[in-house]
Structure 1
Amino acid sequence: MRVFDAHLDLAYNAGLGRDLTLSLSDLRAQDPVAGETACVTFSELQRAGVAACFATLFAAPAGPETPLGYETWQGARRQAVAQLDQYRRWEDQGHVRLLRSGTEVREHVRDWDDTRPLGVVLLMEGADPLRDAGDLPEWVDAGVRLIGPAWRRTRYAGGTDEPGPLTDRGEDLLVAMRELGVALDASHLDDASFWQAIELQPLVMASHSNSRALVPGNRHLSDDMARAIFERGGVVGLVAPSMFIRAGWAVGDTRASASEWAAHAEHYAQLGSWRQVGLGTDLDGGFGIEKGPDFLNRYADVLNVLDALPEAERPRVAGGNWLRWIERNLK
């Protein structure tokens, strides 16, 4: 079974000092990130059958947990450029293969086995590395095929815990994305920005978003938002932190179960169909196994959630749904 994960912060983790070329045990033995036990290395992804993924260019804004984060678009750009260079160096070393089209993804996954590199399609999470829409062609030439305009609020859109509409700059970016065929990642968009964005760029998916019906908050998709994505042919990826799986979860609580995570998949399937649900784990996206579901001790354990899903749907949720969407939409 080929696995596709729609959200992995690979280069961001390398920027934290994690060497993803190590075995998982070796990485954990020297992990510079305290209190967050890592799940992801290239060999671990191979072990799990992950043939390809959307891998992020994620510039972290300055904040209490990221004192070295960016404060200007120039700072965000420097982070994104460094991450792009990291993917290129990994490609030169044979750890990843950068993919730019649905055809390339299909062929890579068709021929993939656990001796081959991880296929990577670049997703920009938070649009602040762009000065404005005029920068978009440069990033498309570099391989970016999807953009999520927000994380928290950016110069483009309201986002998680920082609501608001698209800015004028954001509207210009969405139009440019539509014209250049860059897909919209709706994850992290605040409601006001979401409804504007999908009118300007209807080629939409959500790489890592659980259901607001089960966990309140604008980090998650309302039923109406999920339906809008499904009506446009999009897929939604299930994200792994316990606080995004169970309402009110806090550190120290019993970690969320596979059945609780699967409930988000089942809810989305009722709103759309099983053909529109996939994985978007966000491992290791600022949290370790301590905050993941209770069966998660290494990345390969992610697939245990499939046992809580209808048997016929498991290969689709594992990767087939994303691969079909990619082949149709990434030119």
Structure 2
Amino acid sequence: MNAPPFLIDGHLDLAFGAALGRDLTLELGALRASDPVQGETATVTFSELRAAGTRVCFGTLFALPRTAQSPHGYADHAGARAQALGQLDHYRRWEDAGHLRLLRTGAEVAAHLADPAAPLGVVLLMEGADPVRDADDLGFWAQAGVRLIGPAWGRTRYAGGTDAPGGLTDAGRELLAAMRGLGVTLDASHLDDAAFWEALEFGGPVVATHANSRALVPGNRHLSDGVARAIAGRGGVIGLVLLSPFLRAGWTPGQPRAGLEAVADHARHYAGLVGWEHVGLGSDLDGGFGSEKTPAGIDRYRDVPRVLEVLPPGQRAAVAGGNWARWLTRYL
């Protein structure tokens, strides 16, 4: 397969991994040898991203809530904010060291893509809005470079989310109005349907940075056909997640990993609904899982271009990065 001109990944939890103690400046073998995260074999480092041809990604600020599985997560706004600020500092220090460049506008993305010597470009995405104190606090985060927000993960103070049905709260409606005013894009990933349809009424651009199809895998974590059509109707792009339980219904650890053809199934389903021009990558690699749960054949990040081999040849470059590049240069 001829390599695509570049990759753009709609979703990578780079700073979350760093907050767990992973040093993404290492080569992957060295990171795996010293990885503080147990049970999840790492796939992502800066050198792996370069080897894959990744020019831009949406890098998250993701605050982990306290659950039975995550007893050290946040329990209130202050805890969520502290996590997000710590992750923002990681991105800034990486930028100072030359590992990446933070991008804030479509013009900056276009110039970045035109420079083959540029480091990884990162557009900041907040996944779960609990770090935002209230609508008046949104300006702080926008000034810091946050260009997209997904109001939910599970349930947040703002919206119903994954496995937590419900619409927008009053605070969520105020946040969406503020996002519209400041030009911050809505990321529909993780939003419950009720919250999504309310949020859509506020207008403005919308994407799903990392969300597979509910027609193939049940559950409100995945997009219904109606939601996918609505995102495309606003010019948005949907990123394909490279996680076996999100690719094949009923997959559980210990089973053979989902194949790359399962990724193609989700891509073809979306393309049949809304056209290939709205399909991209949103790998979420190392986003709370390791290579044990990636599709077969994706054992490290530099393997991601293998996904393109199961897609129609005429659509590979667009899915690899062209569709996200078009969206970024038009709407960011």
Aligned residues: 328
Q: CA deviation at 1:110?
A: 1.4
Q: CA deviation at 1:303?
A: 1.1
**1:77 aligned counterpart, secondary structure:** helix
1:310 aligns with 2:294: no
Among 128, 131, 137, the residue aligned to 1:129:
131
Q: CA deviation at 1:199?
A: 1.0
Matched with 1:8 is 12
Is 2:183–2:204's contact at 8 Å kept on the other side of the alignment? no
Q: CA deviation at 1:302?
A: 1.3
Aligned partner letter, 1:16: L
Matched with 1:85 is 89
Aligned partner letter, 2:168: L
**1:325 aligned counterpart, secondary structure:** helix
Matched with 2:103 is 99
1:321 aligns with 2:323: yes
**Deviation digits for residues 122-157 of structure 1 (CA, Å, limit 9, x no counterpart):** 000000001100001111100000000000000000
TM-score, normalised with respect to structure 1: 0.98
**Deviation digits for residues 256-295 of structure 1 (CA, Å, limit 9, x no counterpart):** 0111111100000011010100000001100000011011
Pairs within 5 Å for 1:56-67: 56-67=60-71
Aligned partner letter, 1:263: D
TM-score, normalised with respect to structure 2: 0.98
Aligned partner letter, 1:272: V
Pairs within 5 Å for 1:69-80: 69-80=73-84
**Counterparts of 2:161 and 2:132, CA distance in 1:** 17
1:268 aligns with 2:270: yes
Matched with 1:39 is 43
**1:164 aligned counterpart, secondary structure:** strand
Q: CA deviation at 1:87?
A: 0.4
Among 204, 207, 212, the residue aligned to 1:205:
207
Matched with 1:160 is 162
Is 1:177–1:201's contact at 8 Å kept on the other side of the alignment? no
Runs of 5+ unmatched residues, structure 2: none
Is 1:184–1:201's contact at 8 Å kept on the other side of the alignment? no
**1:291 aligned counterpart, secondary structure:** coil
Q: CA deviation at 1:202?
A: 3.5
**1:53 aligned counterpart, secondary structure:** strand
Among 181, 184, 187, the residue aligned to 1:185:
187
Matched with 1:23 is 27
**Counterparts of 2:302 and 2:314, CA distance in 1:** 20
**Counterparts of 1:199 and 1:240, CA distance in 2:** 30
1:245 aligns with 2:231: no
Among 216, 224, 227, the residue aligned to 2:226:
224
Is 2:127–2:152's contact at 8 Å kept on the other side of the alignment? yes
**Counterparts of 1:94 and 1:307, CA distance in 2:** 32
**2:81 aligned counterpart, secondary structure:** helix
Q: CA deviation at 1:64?
A: 2.3
Among 254, 257, 260, the residue aligned to 1:255:
257
**Deviation digits for residues 194-247 of structure 1 (CA, Å, limit 9, x no counterpart):** 100111133100000000000000000000000011111110000011000000
**Counterparts of 1:79 and 1:234, CA distance in 2:** 29
Q: CA deviation at 1:25?
A: 0.5
Q: CA deviation at 1:35?
A: 1.0
**Deviation digits for residues 304-330 of structure 1 (CA, Å, limit 9, x no counterpart):** 111110001000000000010011101
**Counterparts of 2:119 and 2:72, CA distance in 1:** 31
- CA RMSD, aligned part only? 0.7
**Counterparts of 2:25 and 2:207, CA distance in 1:** 30
4+ residue runs over 2 A deviation? none
**Deviation digits for residues 86-107 of structure 1 (CA, Å, limit 9, x no counterpart):** 1000001110101100110111
**Counterparts of 1:326 and 1:251, CA distance in 2:** 36
**Counterparts of 1:295 and 1:273, CA distance in 2:** 26
Aligned partner letter, 1:25: G
**Counterparts of 1:119 and 1:67, CA distance in 2:** 33
**1:213 aligned counterpart, secondary structure:** coil
Q: CA deviation at 1:254?
A: 1.0
Q: CA deviation at 1:65?
A: 2.5
Q: CA deviation at 1:112?
A: 2.5
**1:129 aligned counterpart, secondary structure:** coil
